[in-house]
Amino acid sequence: MGTMRSRRSLADTAVGANQPRIRNPFIAGNWVRAENFFGRDGLLREVLEGQRDSLWIVGARRLGKTSVLKELEYRTQQSPQSPFVPLYWDLEGGLDARGLAEGLLSSVEDSEPLRRAIDLAVEDLEGLSVVDMLATLVRRTVRSGWRLLLLLDEGEEFLTLARQDVGTLLRMRRVFQKGPEVRTVLTSTRRLGRIDDAPEYATSPFLQGFVPPLYLTPLTPDETRALLARGDFSDADCQAILERTAAHPFLVQLIASRLFEVNDLAAVLEQVGVDEMVANFFSVDFQTLEKTERRALEEVARAERLTLRQVSQKVGIPEDALAPSLVALAKMGYLTPDRDGYRVGNSFFARWLSRSQALGAAEAAS
Ligand SMILES: Nc1ncnc2c1ncn2[C@@H]1O[C@H](COP(=O)(O)OP(=O)(O)OP(=O)(O)O)[C@@H](O)[C@H]1O
Ligand SMILES: [Mg+2]
């Protein structure tokens, strides 16, 4: 264990000299922020310093959507010059107006800094509808000299609300888009795009103002190396992790976390390649994509590398209609540009795609 000494010193700074165990510095699963958050400077700056007051951040599952919102909350709270007071609101489970009101109330309950900044007690909101709660929050924020930074997580929930209670959805949107008093940041997978396919929105699409979306990308190689430096791994191991994960932050953290425990990269890569939890997250993630996007990915996986023209021929969609989808898939890390074409974004996803196709074919044949 030649790296033991430096690992201990790392643990000392991380958890204090009295801690007997060497703490694993990698986090694979929960959202991260502050010193555990890496990269994404351009995106954070665009939200905090840009001109847009309605931003939609689209990202694959486990690519770091919640972490971005938590980091935005953290940075705003840490920065005395910021004009914003942040409110993180997880929409999950808010199937109807009632559920949303409860969720919003507990977000306010969880955010002591917000209540202090705008001089608001939880009781001031109790009994109000979700739309009135939002309006009250905005009013109080403005009265206290702030702007509200609304950080909405799990935006897919609006698809359900659109089916159950369009009126509430449209009234909420009016608050989200109240201009400079409110800056709304909404995260979701691409699936939320379907909300505007419903006929009710023909004249007034829900995502109007939120489009075009900002895409959450994998990390850059440098950001990934900075993260991996926490493990004090060999350069060769870092390079191999970077190549196999294509800087997908969750995969990087998962592999690094296990490597930190067992110190055998080949074994860890093999283990992660057959991990049920990882397969499950690829599968859930894949279902958030449009049918043609899924077919395009399957074709690229089968051929290993395809140009736009080749994908277009295989899926039967003209190149100019297909190109924006492939660009978006590449931004989100599902595909990686390779010379004049594309291959699948990272080796684990490629392996999962080939396997699930083989399974699908076997099932169809039986
Ligand atoms: N900026 C980052 N720096 C370091 N690690 C990150 C970063 N963003 C995400 N991760 C890694 O990815 C994992 C998932 O992050 P997070 O929960 O924010 O993703 P998500 O997109 O919200 O996931 P879900 O789709 O499940 O809601 C984290 O536990 C961490 O391992
Ligand atoms: Mg999340």
pLDDT digits (tens, 9 = 90+) for 272-317: 999 999 999 999 999 999 999 999 999 999 999 999 999 999 999 9
Residue 262 · residue 233 · CB < 8 Å: no
Dihedral through CA 41, CA 44, CA 45, CA 46, nearest 10? 120
Phi, psi dihedrals of residue 76, rounded to the nearest 5°: -65, -40
Residues 211 and 234 in one domain: no
Beta strands in the chain (DSSP E): 54-58, 84-90, 147-153, 182-188, 214-215, 306-307, 335-338, 341-344
Q: Is the CB of 26 under 6 A from ligand 1?
A: no
Burial class (CB in 10 A: 0-12, 13-18, 19+), 167: exposed
Burial class (CB in 10 A: 0-12, 13-18, 19+), 327: middle
Report how far ligand 2's centroid is from the alpha carbon of 154 (Å). Answer: 7
Residues 100 and 167 in one domain: yes
pTM: 0.92
Mark which of 199, 215, 231 sits at the end of a domain. 215
Residue 178 CB contacts under 8 Å (≥ 6 apart), including other chains: 138
**Which mean pLDDT values do the consecutive 10-residue runs of the chain (366 residues) have?**
43 50 91 98 97 96 97 96 97 88 96 96 96 97 97 95 90 92 96 83 80 96 98 97 97 98 96 95 93 96 97 97 95 95 96 88 72
Residue 310's CATH number:
1.10.10.10
Task: Using the atom order of ligand 1, give the atom closest to the CA of residue 37.
Answer: 3
Q: How far apart are CA 239 and CA 233, in angstroms?
A: 10
Residues 84 and 209 in one domain: yes
Structure tokens at 134: 């939002």
Mark which of 215, 233, 253 sits at the end of a domain. 215
Structure tokens at 124: 């001031």
**Of all helices (H) and strands (E), which one includes residue 131?**
helix 130-143
Residue 48 · residue 72 · CB < 8 Å: yes
Number of domains within the chain: 3
Q: Domain residues for 285?
A: 281-365
Q: How far apart are CA 349 and CA 351, in angstroms?
A: 5
Q: Is the CB of 33 under 6 A from ligand 1?
A: no
Q: Is the CB of 352 under 6 A from ligand 1?
A: no
Q: Is the CB of 74 under 6 A from ligand 1?
A: no
DSSP state of 160: H
